[in-house]
Amino acid sequence: MFSSAADSCSRRVFLITTLQVRPTRSSSAFLRTSITVSSHARTSASPCSSSSVVNAAMAAETSAKVIDGKSVAKVIREEIATEISRMKESTGVVPGLAVILVGDRKDSATYVRNKKKACESVGIKSYEVCLAEDSSEQEVLKYISSFNDDPSVNGILVQLPLPSHMNEQNILNAVCIEKDVDGFNPLNIGRLAMRDREPLFVPCTPKGCIELLHRYGVSIKGKRAVVIGRSNIVGMPAALLLQREDATVSIVHSRTKNPEEITREADIVISAVGQPNMVRGSWIKPGSVIIDVGINPVEDAKSPRGYRLVGDVCYEEASKIASAITPVPGGVGPMTIAMLLSNTLAAAKRANSFE
């Protein structure tokens, strides 16, 4: 999808009706990006915009390196498979992951199926419990307790969201910390926040974001990083991880008055807000690295499904300004499951004192 979008960019020319360049520190570099304007240009809005006001950057050539999460995730899964074989040969044990699904949500069922498939592909034994929508909290807790006690299960995953009659915190807190491969236990988060402490597990999606930076050789130390969004499962732990790697981190959120200005100061941006195309080209510092966690469906009559998936970042605009960017889909998405497998392997190694 994104190679075709990128292809179309280089052929497309835009009429620059308003040159929106603010006098920021980065403005001169911004203006240095090559701008191609055809005298025969026709008025054309950005695919990210509802107005016809088009940013200068949009006319520039695509320049950002595409951070290919799908390929990286594949490599990581192969590395994990190799490690699991080694472990099996040496100890006779393979890691086990238990997934608990409550209710009939189709999206949740798809996620669970994908996780199961991913487990099988690397040699992790998967255990699955599917409970009816109207099950009691007690029933879920009973399964968690039995998985807590089962030495063949190294990781326990409760698929969210749970039915509204259940107390999510109670249920998540019941997973023993040694098997909390999601890394959502507050004790894990606390250790992540603290210097000289080590979390047992790092939450999968933010871990995947940092892994992408590492695998693409993006140095983090001393860099300015902006995390957009402060959710417990992505934004907040992503900020803590960047901080652990010595970035200077700012967190932008719904109450931030000037998100564009602050984001434009960042060498590294991780966006996790769930707002399609919110981060426009004008938010991006030239040469920065963009990790887009958002996976947002937008209507698309041309798609057989009636929608397509886009990120939080207007890829078409940002890819002309950033030095590297993750596509959506195919960026952070595949990394999340890879990190879940990695956490499960780590749990199994720890439980079996295998290094």
Report in angstroms how near the CB of residue 36 gets to its own copies at its nearest: 32
Which entry of 180, 182, 267, 292 is annotated as an active-site residue?
182
Task: Say which residue the tokens 């602050």 belong to.
Answer: 262
**Could you list the residues that contact its own copies (CB under 8 A)?**
169, 185-197, 221-222, 224, 230-232, 236, 240, 243, 246-253, 255-257, 262
Q: How far is residue 330 CA from its own chain's centroid?
A: 10
Report in angstroms how near the CB of residue 136 gets to its own copies at its nearest: 23
Nearer to its own copies among residue 119 and residue 242 (C-beta) = 242
**Greatest CA separation found in the chain?**
71
Beta bridge partners of 40: none
Nearer to its own copies among residue 65 and residue 214 (C-beta) = 214
Is-cis flag, bond preceding 161, omega within 30?
yes
Closest CA to 163 of 140, 129, 182: 140
Report in angstroms how near the CB of residue 193 gets to its own copies at its nearest: 5
For residue 312, the SS3 value is: coil
Beta bridge partners of 127: 98
Report in angstroms how near the CB of residue 274 gets to its own copies at its nearest: 15
What burial class does residue 39 get, using C-beta atoms within 10 Å of its C-beta: 0-12 exposed, 13-18 middle, 19+ buried? exposed
Q: What is the DSSP letter of 5?
A: H
Closest CA to 179 of 147, 138, 203, 204: 147
Nearer to its own copies among residue 23 and residue 92 (C-beta) = 23
Indicate if 182 belongs to the active site. yes
Report in angstroms how near the CB of residue 261 gets to its own copies at its nearest: 9
Which entry of 159, 207, 223, 320 is annotated as an active-site residue?
159
State the angle between helix axes of 235-244 and 186-193 in degrees (0 to 180), rounded to the nearest 10. Answer: 30
Nearer to its own copies among residue 48 and residue 192 (C-beta) = 192
Nearer to its own copies among residue 109 and residue 262 (C-beta) = 262
> Which segments of the chain are extended strands (E)?
65-66, 96-102, 125-131, 155-158, 224-228, 248-252, 268-271, 289-292, 296-299, 307-310, 324-325
For residue 170, the SS3 value is: helix
Half-sphere exposure of 136 (CA within 13 A, CB side): 3
Give the span between the Cα atoms of 46 and 217, in whole angstroms.
31
Report in angstroms how near the CB of residue 248 gets to its own copies at its nearest: 4
Nearer to its own copies among residue 222 and residue 297 (C-beta) = 222
* 258 C-beta neighbours (distance < 10 Å), count: 9
The answer to whether 332 touches 69, Cβ cutoff 8 Å, is yes
Which entry of 68, 115, 223, 267 is annotated as an active-site residue?
115
Q: What's phi and psi for 97, nearest 5 deg?
A: -125, 125
Report in angstroms how near the CB of residue 55 gets to its own copies at its nearest: 22
Indicate if 65 belongs to the active site. no
Nearer to its own copies among residue 192 and residue 322 (C-beta) = 192
Catalytic residues: 115, 159, 182
